[in-house]
Chains A and B, each alone.
Chain A
Amino acid sequence: MQKLPGNDLCILHYPWLLIILIFFLSCNLFEYEPYSTELTNVPPPQPNNISIDISGSLDTLNAWDYVTINYSIQNDSIQDVNVSLYVDTQLVAQTSNPTYIGFNTESFSDGLYQIRMEFLIPTGSGSLADKLGAEYYSTEKQFPIYIDNRETVYPPELEAISLVNTRPLLKWNEYEYHNFQEYKIYRKLKDANTDSLLLVIKDRNITEYTDSTYLGGNVRYKIELGAKSKILSSNYSDFAGNISTLANPAIIPDNHILLTWSRCDYDSNFDYYEIRKGIEKNEGIISYESLVKIYDIDSTNYVDKNAEFGRPLNYQLFLGNKNLLINSNVKEILLGKECPYYDFISFVPTIRAFCLYAVTNGELDTEYNSMLIYEDNYDIIKLDGFLIFFSPDGEKAYKKKNIWNSSILYQVNPLNIDAVLDTIQIVNKDGRDCGFTQFYVTNNGLIVLYDLNSSDYVFYDVLNKQHFSTIDWNSFDYIISISPNGKYLLNGDGSFYKVDYKTYTKLYTIASAERYQLCFTEDDEEYVVTSNSSISIRRSMDQTIINQFPIENDLNRPVIDSISGYLGGFTREGEKYRIYNLLNGSKIKEIPLVYDISLESFFYWSGSTLFLSAYLWGSYFVNINF
Chain B
Amino acid sequence: MKKFIICFVLFGLTHAIFSKEPNLSLRFKLSYNSFDMHELKDFQTTLASVYRRIMDIPVKEFENFPNYFGLQLEFYNQWLKGNPIGIYVEYTSTGSRIHYSDYSGMLNIDQIINRISLGVCGERCIYPFKSSNIMFNIYLGLIRSNYSINEKLKIGENALSTVTRFYGYSIGIEPNLSYQLSIHSYMFLIGIGYQIDFPIRNLKSDEYELRDSRNNSIYPGWRGLRLNISIGYNF
Q: Residues on A close to B: CB < 8 A?
A: 1, 14, 16-17, 19-21, 23-24, 26-28, 30-42, 44, 125, 127-132, 134-135
Contact = CB atoms under 8 A, between A and B. Distances in A.
B99 A37 contact: yes
B7 A21 contact: yes
Contacts of B24: 1
Contacts of B155: 128-129, 132, 134
A128 B105 contact: yes
Given A19-B26, A19-B73, A128 B107 contact: yes
B198 interface: no
9 contacts: A14-B15, A20-B89, A24-B6, A27-B116, A30-B91, A31-B93, A34-B63, A37-B106, A38-B60
B69 interface: yes
A134 B156 CA distance: 9
B101 A128 contact: yes
A596 B213 CA distance: 85
A31 B114 contact: yes
A20 B7 contact: yes
Contacts of B158: 134
B187 to A, nearest CB: 16
Chain B interface size, as a band, is 35 or more
Contact of B101 (A32, A35, A38, A125): A38
Contact of B26 (A14, A16, A30, A132): A16
B209 to A, nearest CB: 23
Given A31-B114, A32-B114, A134-B158, 18 more contacts: A1-B18, A16-B26, A20-B73, A20-B89, A23-B89, A24-B6, A31-B93, A31-B112, A32-B95, A33-B112, A34-B96, A34-B112, A40-B101, A127-B103, A127-B104, A129-B105, A131-B56, A134-B156
A128 B106 contact: yes
From DSSP, what is the main secondary structure of chain A's interface residues? loop
B73 A30 contact: no
Given A1-B235, A20-B11, A128-B102, A35 B63 contact: yes
| Residue among B14, B71, B97, B104 with max Cβ neighbours from chain A (10 Å) | B104
Nearest to A17: B11
A23 B71 contact: yes
Leading 10 A-B pairs by shortest Cβ distance: A129-B104, A34-B97, A36-B62, A127-B104, A32-B93, A27-B91, A42-B102, A40-B102, A32-B95, A24-B3
A21 B7 CA distance: 7
B10 A20 contact: yes
A27 B93 CA distance: 9
A490 B107 CA distance: 110
B94 interface: yes
Most buried by B among A24, A38, A41, A44: A24
Contacts of B15: 14, 17
B63 A39 contact: no
B186 interface: no
Contacts of B71: 23, 26-27, 30
B101 A37 contact: yes
B103 A30 contact: no
B35 to A, nearest CB: 10
A180 to B, nearest CB: 47
A127 B58 CA distance: 10
Interface in B73-107: 73, 75, 89, 91, 93-97, 99-107
Nearest to B150: A34
B19 interface: yes
A307 to B, nearest CB: 80
Contact of A39 (B93, B102, B107): B102
Nearest to B73: A23
Interface string B102-145: 11111110101010100000000000000000000000000000
Contacts of B235: 1
A33 B95 contact: yes
B192 interface: no
A132 B55 CA distance: 8
A30 B95 contact: no
Contacts of A27: 3, 71, 91, 114, 116
B11 A14 contact: yes
Contacts of A38: 60, 62, 99, 101
Given A32-B68, A32-B114, A42 B104 contact: yes
Contact of B94 (A32, A125, A132): A32
A38 B93 CA distance: 23
B7 to A, nearest CB: 5
Nearest to A129: B104
A130 B95 contact: no
A44 B28 CA distance: 53
A129 B26 CA distance: 54
B227 interface: no
Residue picked from A1, A32, A33, A42, most chain B C-beta under 10 Å: A32
Nearest to B103: A44
B93 A40 contact: no
B57 interface: yes
Interface centre among A21, A31, A127 (most CB of B within 10 A): A31
A131 B62 contact: no
A24 B6 CA distance: 9
B55 to A, nearest CB: 7
Interface in B1-41: 3-4, 6-7, 10-11, 14-15, 18-19, 24, 26, 28
B97 A36 contact: yes
Contacts of B110: 34
A32 B94 CA distance: 5
Nearest to B72: A23
A28 B3 CA distance: 10
A132 B101 CA distance: 13
Nearest to B75: A16
A33 B113 CA distance: 10
A129 B68 CA distance: 34
Contacts of B4: 24
A1 B156 CA distance: 58
A30 B63 CA distance: 17
Nearest to A18: B11
A199 B46 CA distance: 67
A31 B3 CA distance: 14
A398 to B, nearest CB: 110
Given A30-B69, A128-B105, A134-B155, A40 B26 contact: no
A455 B57 CA distance: 108
B101 A36 contact: no
B106 A41 contact: no
A129 B57 CA distance: 10
- Which of B3, B58, B102 lies at the interface centre, i.e. has the most chain A CB atoms within 10 A of its CB? B102
Given A23-B71, A32-B93, A132-B155, A42 B103 contact: yes
A332 B96 CA distance: 101
A18 to B, nearest CB: 10
Contacts of A24: 3-4, 6-7, 91
Contacts of B3: 24, 27-28
Contact of B156 (A17, A40, A129): A129
Contacts of A35: 63, 97
Contacts of B104: 42, 44, 125, 127-130, 134-135
A1 B58 contact: no
Nearest to B6: A24
